[in-house]
Amino acid sequence: MLSISPKTASPQIASVIADPLALYIHWPFCVSKCPYCDFNSHVRDRVDTQEWRTALLADLAHEAALTPGRRIASIFFGGGTPSLMPPEIVADLIAAAERLWGLTDDVEITLEANPNSVEAARFGDIAAAGVNRVSLGLQALDSDALHFLGRAHDVDEGLAALDVAQSVFGRVSFDLIYARPGQGEEAWARELDRALSFGTGHLSLYQLTIEPGTRFATLAAQGKLVPADPDHAADLYELTQARTGAAGIPAYEISNHARKGQQSRHNLTYWRYGDYLGIGPGAHGRRGKQATLRHRKPENWLAALARNGHGLQSEEPLGAQDQAREALLMGLRLGEGINLARIAAASGVPLAQLVNREAAGRLEALGLLIQERERLRVAPAGMLLLDAILPQIVAI
């Protein structure tokens, strides 16, 4: 394999090599499976943590060998429930990333955590391991709702964990799920106002969706769960945008809100279509012009590592149109929108072929889209209709 040093590469190639990477590390295990969750999470009676430490480090080293000369700007431990990882394994993986790539001076290292007392007791050790941002799965500030969502914690336990997190980590985010069955506007407004009162720099606010293959999908098919009416869900979305904007924590992506400078830099890499590496079961990645995918089932991933030295299931080349399409679909989720000239230059697809300008003009006239020279963004009113807007304007 030919490798190119940034010192000897042409200026064009060197600039690509020097572009920092995002690193995603997947820990697939949970204590129990939530009824709404379609993530790659698994319940196991026993986990050999040392076997998993060895395997994750090997998967990490494989990706490092394929990305010489790059540095890591963000690390995200997702799952599953990565706060169940022993903190020493978290520390080992961060140290390995620093050794194999090097970390940027302002590296963001996030770990998703359950807000219960057992895991909160580990927060100090997790911070000492190098994590500087935590994302808590509070999911609701109502005990009945938490029971409905299958969460193991209650409100008091969740808020106690939030207190610990805010005392330990420099940056804290938490998730809430709204548009739950039977949830009225006043109830959500009270819950949201309470959430905003805690002063975190970031909130992820998701409407409840019924995902195929989940327990909720089964209940919905049986008529035992009735999702929120779409018009009511739209009203709750608009209420959410108004309340968060007034509180100084506006949406920067369709479901994510942040104070100035507190956006998730890791997730921005995805949405801005930067390179990211994914290791661990089921992890996706975008390495250069390739889409990577790891084996999804933990046992299959471990077997692949033992056989091949990595957990990869596939590496697929992305053509110019694939790259441009993904960049459009991801970037239009962001409040900042996309730079069409940048996407054309990066993908090689001519600027005129990226977007249906006639459809974009119609949507702009309706107040759903904003065009500013080569920058295109979905207006706040259009975010409610994003799934309908994207097929109309993405031309490739």
- For the chain, the domains span 11-271, 337-396
Residue tagged 């960049």 (tokens): 327
Between helices 230-246 and 185-196, what is the axis angle to 10°? Answer: 30
Task: Please choose, from the candidates 203, 208, 286, the residue with its C-alpha nearest in 3D space to the C-alpha of residue 252.
Answer: 203
* Per-residue pLDDT at 163: 97
* Per-residue pLDDT at 1: 23
Find the farthest-apart pair of alpha carbons in the chain and give their distance in angstroms, rounded.
Answer: 64
The pTM of the full predicted model, rounded to 2 decimals, is 0.93
Residue 126 near residue 83, CB atoms below 8 Å: yes
Task: Please choose, from the candidates 278, 393, 394, 256, the residue with its C-alpha nearest in 3D space to the C-alpha of residue 336.
Answer: 256
* Per-residue pLDDT at 113: 96
The C-alpha atoms of residue 38 and residue 218 are separated, in whole angstroms, by: 13
The C-alpha atoms of residue 144 and residue 189 are separated, in whole angstroms, by: 17
How distant is the alpha carbon of residue 233 from its chain centre? 22
* Per-residue pLDDT at 13: 33
pLDDT in tens, the chain (396 residues): 222 222 223 333 333 345 899 999 999 999 999 999 989 999 998 999 999 999 999 999 999 999 999 999 999 999 999 999 999 999 999 999 999 999 999 999 999 999 998 899 999 999 999 999 999 999 999 999 999 999 999 999 999 999 999 999 999 999 999 999 999 999 999 999 999 999 999 999 999 999 999 999 999 999 999 999 999 999 999 999 999 999 999 999 999 999 999 999 999 999 999 999 999 999 999 999 999 999 999 999 999 999 999 999 999 999 999 999 999 999 999 999 999 999 999 999 999 999 999 999 999 999 999 998 889 999 999 999 999 999 999 998
* Per-residue pLDDT at 117: 83
For 11-271, give the CATH class. alpha beta
